[in-house]
Amino acid sequence: MNPTEPIETKTISRRTLVASMGMAGAGMLLGQFSPAPRFAHANPLPLEWNVVTDFGAVGDGTTDDTTAIQSALNATATGGTVYFPMGTYLITSQLTVSNKEIHLFATGKAVIKEASVFGIPVLKLLHAHGSTITGLSCQGAETYAGFAGASSLFNAFIQLDHCNQAIISGCSVKDKTYPFLLSVCQECHVTDCYVVGFLNVGKAGANYCSCCYISGGLNNSVRGLVGKDMGSGILVGAEGTNHHISDCYFENMWDNGVYVSSGKGNLIEHVTVKQTGGSGVKARGHRHIVSNCHIQDCLIGFTITGNGATPDTLGYNGYGTILEGCVAENCRRDGVLMNAQDGYLPRNIKIVNNTFINCATEGGGYAGVRMTAGVDTEVCGNTFHHCSGSFGILIVGPQSAPVSGLKIMNNFVSETREGIRLQYVTHSVITGNYVRDIDTYGIQLINCNNNIISSNIGQEQVTSGLLRCLTADGSSNNTIIGNRATLMEVSREANVLIGNLPGTVNFTDDVTGTPLYAGQQAIVSGNLYMAAGSTSSTDWKQIN
């Protein structure tokens, strides 16, 4: 075709295209070798489609194909299908589709090559409801040296802008800041895509470089996304709601594997993250679920905190997130960190049935699970193994507003320097925990009051004892019931002790003060006393 002649608009029949593609391509188009579609609402391909080479595209990697491809997109005035044969298509400015359903697909290696960094998405679909993009690749122009971090420029490969029920599938992208950008979309899907970035080593502003960025919107999903050498795997922002992230793998991320920076009701499940400069999964906001994820060799396994401009009636900005059935291993700092960020506080967090292996390897004040702010949180049914340099569970509240309403229940902690430490904690329950092979204390309370410590077991080399709860550490008025160990250090005159082993821990040796409760027992000079009341020292009655 002479490029100076007018471009003749052509279509190619399904039969002609299949005949030119060989068995593999024909099988894919005819559905013989491809799995059933993931999403029932994806529209089937029509019998006729436009081919970009018929509009003048060359695909040799050096000829500017921008005008030809845009002509092919425009030729589908009310929607249609555009096919990209195998080739490398050089693009020098943005390609756009607006206000129509369109289907773009390739069956071979069709690469969109960015001539220079645009500062805007290479391909933008606006109000293109029901559209699909399948099998396209992108070679971006961005580099490590040119990456500036925080920016208002969205250097995306594909942007879905205010689209409903659109699908991006089977695409691969190299060297783009935001390969896939979903802006205020509903029920759109990114599935089975692959991304390789340019951040093979860390750089400031890495949090502004993400394999997929979901900005706002509702009920979108990312499934089967694989990414490497980026700032983050998936970023959810602008109060995104009810998004679903599943079956993804991210490696060598310099910020977080998955970062939900705001929003509510997002589900992250079956995600694997290896090697991050931040957290494997970080969730801010309300009522997210993080389930069955595996985090390995990261700085922090999971971070859960608050977010939101308007605090609730309790003064907290994030609540109700659940972390369940996950694994964090070889994390240099915390397996889970629950903290305040930017002044936003979490509450009602549930950390249940997770496994933490060899976390807090830097030692110091890190732990398998660490909490520095919040109320009404549950840490239940978790396994902590070989957090040898630090703590299994570490809860340190602010002195001015101690943490309250905790449930630390039925956890198994082994091979740590210290099992469970609580500091500035009140009106909480620590029950049913099992600790073994601990270098110091199984459970230690510092400046903790009005808590219940019950049915905990320390066994097999808990060196300093199952429990330390002393007035010298500021801990009193705690109820300590039914714990089992060979050794405990407890201020018996300042706490309620019933049914513990060894039995001697249940008896105070002071009958000069007022009993804490009726029925309290004491042994003084071999004589046994029991309190008949709790009014004055005269309530102590010798019973032998």
State which amino acid sits at residue 537: S
User: If DSSP codes are grouped into helix, strand and coil, which group holds residue 422?
Assistant: strand
Assess contact for 459 and 482: CB atoms under 8 A.
Answer: no
CA 179, CA 172: separation in Å to the nearest integer?
Answer: 9
Q: Looking at the DSSP assignment, which residues form a beta bridge with residue 324?
A: 291, 352
Amino acid at 342: D
Q: What is the mean pLDDT of each run of 10 residues along the chain (544 residues)?
A: 39 44 39 36 59 96 98 86 96 96 93 95 97 97 85 84 98 96 97 95 85 96 97 92 97 95 92 96 93 97 79 64 97 93 82 96 91 90 89 93 94 95 97 95 97 93 90 96 92 90 84 86 86 90 86
**3 state DSSP class of 151:** coil
Structure tokens at 227: 């990414």
Per the confidence metrics, is the pTM higher than 0.85?
yes
Question: Which among 241, 372, 362 has a CA at the least distance from the CA of 308?
Answer: 241
User: Residue 189: CB partners within 8 Å, gap ≥ 6?
Assistant: 38, 39, 166, 167, 168, 169, 220, 221, 222, 223
Give me the residue label for tokens 């239940």.
380
Q: Do residues 336 and 328 lie in contact, with contact meaning Cβ atoms separated by under 8 Å?
A: yes
Which H or E element spans position 281? strand 279-284
User: Which positions ≥6 away from 16 have C-beta within 8 Å?
Assistant: none
Collapsed DSSP state (helix, strand, coil) of residue 518 = coil
* The two three-digit tokens of residue 70, written as one number: 């845009």
Cβ atoms of residues 18 and 30 within 8 Å: yes
pLDDT at 315: 55
**Strand 540-542 and strand 527-531: pairing?**
antiparallel
Q: What's the pLDDT score for residue 347?
A: 85
Residues paired with 304 in a beta bridge = 283, 338
Q: What is the Cα–Cα distance from 310 to 316, expressed in whole angstroms?
A: 9
Nearest-angstrom CA–CA distance, 159 and 176:
12
Same fold, 1-260 and 322-506: yes
- Domain definitions of the chain by residue range: 1-260, 322-506, 509-544
Only one residue has tokens 């049915």, namely: 455
Instruction: Give the distance, in angstroms, between the CA of residue 391 and the centroid of all CA atoms in the same chain.
Output: 22
Q: What is the pLDDT of residue 16?
A: 45
480, 500 contact by CB (below 8 A): yes
Confidence at residue 210, expressed as pLDDT on a 0 to 100 scale: 94
Phi then psi for residue 21, to 5 deg, are: -105, -10
What phi and psi values does residue 206 have, to the nearest 5 degrees? -60, -25
Residue 360: predicted pLDDT: 92
Cα–Cα distance for residue pair 444/418, rounded to 1 Å:
8
Chain-centre distance for alpha carbon 245: 10
Q: Which fold has domain 1-260?
A: Pectate Lyase C-like (2.160.20)
Whether domain 322-506 has CATH 3.40.50.1100: no
| pLDDT confidence of residue 467 | 95
